[in-house]
Amino acid sequence: MIAILVYPDFQLLDATGPAAVFEVARRYVPSAPDIKMIAVKGGIVRSSSKVEVVAAELPPAVEVSTLIVVGALEIEEVIKCQSTIAYVRQLASVGVRIASVCSGAYVLAEAGLLDARKATTHWCRTQDFVVRYPNVRLDPDRIYLNDGNIWTSGGVTAGIDLALAITSHDHGDDIAKEVARQLVVYHRRGGGQSQFSSLLELKSPDGRFGPLLSWVRENLDKALTVENLADRAGLSPRHFARVFTAETGATPSKAVERLRLEVARERVQTTSEQIEQVAESTGFGDAERMRRAFVRAFGQPPQSLRRVARNKVTHY
């Protein structure tokens, strides 16, 4: 059985996305495992969208071949449930394959399954995750990862990518391709989570400050102080800071740092530039300042991200 573990206020697509993949896979491989929603308290479980599912009580470990642990908006409450953590540990201890979608990685980490392992989670959880679980080798850019019998995936729809990868592992790549065709999704999605631009994180990247932000991205090595940006926008520094934050949802300094991080990360991962040169050309000034910013944002220093990127090229 493929068991999908849910709890109150779970993310609906975290559960139904993988379920759809495994359902279609069974059309091609009738002997593939059944799929079942499970919960600590069996019965109706309401998702964060208020759509409800009917879940069975936690089955014995012997009945489960794969456990999918979904995410939740309030995952901090989920990891306080000792029954949930104990069940995940129990299944892992007898060799059940354990996978997480999105913030479900918190449950795996809380159970101790990710210590010293490679893992990923939703990109916006990076800073909190690395503080809570410093022993996890987090790669926030991956769509999904597997390390031994443990699988993790990034934000929400990445659960579909994860399920397709598991399908390929279990039944072959041809079956996974057919499932992807039926679902009209990519068989293997290109890029990582960092493909979602820092500009898109802003509330209104194309509003009145759109041209200014585009200029900033092309001039990251300049002194991008509030005063200089306000002068370019034709506003007083105080008024500029207020209206910029109200419109974009970020302070001017935070928006500049996001753009510097985005460009610096791209150069670190795709070029052979010296780390010091990248730091200087993107406005960080020195490599140590850029290293601290990378660790805060991505959970890893530039050198680690470069090694991961080069390993991807080698393996693919």
Whole-prediction pTM: 0.66
Domain coordinates of the chain in residue numbers?
A: 2-193, 197-315
Q: What average pLDDT does range 50-55 have in this prediction?
A: 96
| 197-315 under CATH 2.60.120.260, yes or no | no
Q: Quick one: pLDDT at residue 298?
A: 78
pLDDT in tens, 60-84: 999 999 999 999 989 999 999 999 9
Q: Quick one: pLDDT at residue 204?
A: 54
Q: What average pLDDT does range 82-95 have in this prediction?
A: 97
Q: Quick one: pLDDT at residue 198?
A: 56
Tokens describing residue 160 = 């579909």
Q: 201, 59 in Cβ contact below 8 A?
A: no
Position 196 pLDDT exceeds 70: no
The phi and psi torsions of 35 (rounded to 5 degrees) equal -120, 135
Q: What average pLDDT does range 303-309 have in this prediction?
A: 82
Q: Return d(Cα 92, Cα 285) in angstroms, integer.
A: 46
Q: Quick one: pLDDT at residue 44?
A: 97
First to last CA, the chain: 31
- HSE-up (13 A, CA, CB side) for residue 164: 24
Q: What average pLDDT does range 88-99 have in this prediction?
A: 98
Q: Quick one: pLDDT at residue 214?
A: 82
Position 21 pLDDT exceeds 90: yes
Share of the chain above pLDDT 70, in %: 91
Q: Quick one: pLDDT at residue 185?
A: 85
Q: Domain 2-193 maps to which CATH number in 3.40.50.720, 1.10.10.10, 3.40.50.880, 3.40.50.12160?
A: 3.40.50.880
Q: Return d(Cα 77, Cα 50) in angstroms, integer.
A: 18
Q: Quick one: pLDDT at residue 296?
A: 83
pLDDT in tens, 264-286: 988 888 788 899 999 999 999 99
Q: What average pLDDT does range 102-125 have in this prediction?
A: 93
Position 31 pLDDT exceeds 80: yes
